[in-house]
Amino acid sequence: MVPAIDNPVVVIAPDSFKGSLTAADAAAALERGAREMLPESATVLTFPMADGGEGSLDAVLAAWLQPALTMTTVDAIGREREASYGLDGEGRRAIIEAAQSNGLPYVSDVPLQALRADSYGVGLIAARLIEGGARDVTLFLGGSATTDGGTGILRALGARFLDAEGNELAPGGGALPSLSTIDLSGLIAGALETQWRIAVDVTNPLVGEQGAAHVFGPQKGASASDVVVLDAGLARLAEVLAETQLAVERGFSAAGICALPGIGAGGGMAAPLVALFGAELVPGAQLVADAIGLSKVVASADIILTGEGRFDSQSLDGKVVDYLRGAKGPSGWLAVIAGSVGMSPSEAKAAGIDVALPLGSGIESRKELFQLAAPLLEARGAHAIAEWFEPTDLDAEFRDEEGDDDTTLGN
């Protein structure tokens, strides 16, 4: 059955296949395959995507036609490192990937310091941008090594965090239980006039069993006792933030700050930015889509092709696929091509995915999938368009029943 559309609008918006293909490479491969099957009258729009984590900076800068800029900052434990960031052509809109500075891989060469690690290096990038005239800052939080509640960012912007005796606290979340006062008198010019949008890909609150310290602290090196200290510190930070005039004017209470969905992302990095500066928390994929223009066209697309390393239930919780299934129009047809597929065709259909295709046949090794990812993705792009023209019953040969990570290209 051929759809009655002579000039379909096709949107191609894959995430990266980590370790194998960038989002741009994946998009190009899918486009090559799709065009083999599409009529010449088809409109094909390509948008390399990301979900707010790794690759988000590259995706936005590619859409802006701007190169990445670099500066010397510090990692999560204060060592110098070079980090990339982005600016639009007018120098007013800025993009920061927190992990460029305080990413977990950059401190994994030494024993992790969960109580000491802080976000000061991220703040140095923000300070450079604001002092240079940027007044619209987008911050992507994924991959951080810190649980300091964003206090390092604020320190780099000129704030001071003091104990009851007026002494400045040591860096990191471990000192926060002793927080008594936040002094904002030294904020750099422009800090309060800057609009912040912060990408989150989780819905965790700030504190408690589902909060930043308990859920994400252990992967950043926190012991059980460290988690208790970090959680208490974040709770104390929320209390003191709620007492500041700026937060009072915005109507925040400590409980309100702690309960904001997603405020626990990045070790609570957004907490002071939200309470004091009015930063907006936005799902990461939505934020990227807005920045690159995808959100303006996806609802009118007839066909949407996307891809990622592994497609399973986690893909439906804030990832690129999740954004696309929610943003497509009622007649939009969505196909996912992934390194491996952990859903049956019926499960995918129930989730709003019309077709989910594995990259290979299921017999390739992980190494072969990495090496052949581009031509395989091109072939699957053509396959997906063929499915749109003439749907078939996809059977078990297109499933990865075991979900073995050994044959998965990373998300």
Question: 10-residue block means of pLDDT along the chain (411 residues)?
Answer: 73 90 94 95 95 87 92 98 95 94 94 97 98 95 94 98 97 98 97 95 92 97 98 98 96 97 95 97 92 95 95 87 96 94 91 92 68 90 93 55 45 49
Name the residue type at position 289.
Answer: A
Single out the residue of 328, 279, 280, 288 nearest to residue 64, CA to CA: 288
- Asked if 131 and 98 count as a contact pair (C-beta separation under 8 A), the reply is no
Kindly report the length of the chain: 411
pLDDT the model gives residue 396: 46
In terms of DSSP H, where are the helices of 38-141? 56-64, 99-102, 120-131
- Asked if 257 and 263 count as a contact pair (C-beta separation under 8 A), the reply is yes
Q: Are strands 160-162 and 136-140 parallel, antiparallel or unpaired?
A: unpaired
pLDDT the model gives residue 360: 75
> How far, in Å, CA of 50 to CA of 56, rounded?
5
Name the residue type at position 12.
Answer: I
Strands of 80-87's sheet in order across: 69-74, 80-87, 93-97, 136-140, 195-200, 280-283
pLDDT the model gives residue 405: 42
Three-class secondary structure of residue 25 per DSSP: helix
Name the residue type at position 56.
Answer: S
Q: Considering all CA atoms of the chain, what is the largest pairwise distance in Å, rounded to the nearest integer?
A: 76
